[in-house]
Amino acid sequence: MLFAVIGSSAGKSREEIMAVYPRHKAFLDPFVARGEVVGVGPFVDPEGGNMALFRTRAAAESFAKGDPFFLEGLVKEYRIKDWGDQMLASPQTPPVPS
């Protein structure tokens, strides 16, 4: 089981996003260093937003509460969803028996 943190865009400009990006990256780096992040990045469709996959709900919740993108209004809200990778299961995400 992984935990998807899905952020909805607050409609800010690229310039506004890039002004906060260094604080966002500094906040994210320790999660990456601890191996808690599987993937992270923006959606590239016109609706925007972002998503990160975490190995634990605790890490996902901590990220969602403290990310500068959220705290400084670039992300309207974060939702956390449990995600079971059934097709390409890894040791961290074992398949559900049929």
Domain for residue 89, yes or no?
no
pLDDT at res. 32: 96
Q: Is residue 48 included in any domain, yes or no?
A: yes
Residue 81 pLDDT > 80: yes
In a domain, 13, yes or no: yes
* pLDDT in the model for residue 41: 93
What CATH code is carried by the domain that includes residue 70? 3.30.70.1060
Exposed, middle or buried by CB within 10 Å (0-12, 13-18, 19+), for 40?
middle
Residue 47 lies in a domain: yes
11 lies in a domain?
Answer: yes
pLDDT for position 85: 74
- pLDDT tens, residue by residue, 20-65: 999 999 999 999 999 999 999 999 988 889 999 999 999 999 999 9
Cβ atoms of 1 and 93 closer than 8 Å: yes
Does some domain include residue 50?
yes
Q: Would you say residue 16 lies in a domain? A: yes
Say how many domains are in the chain: 1
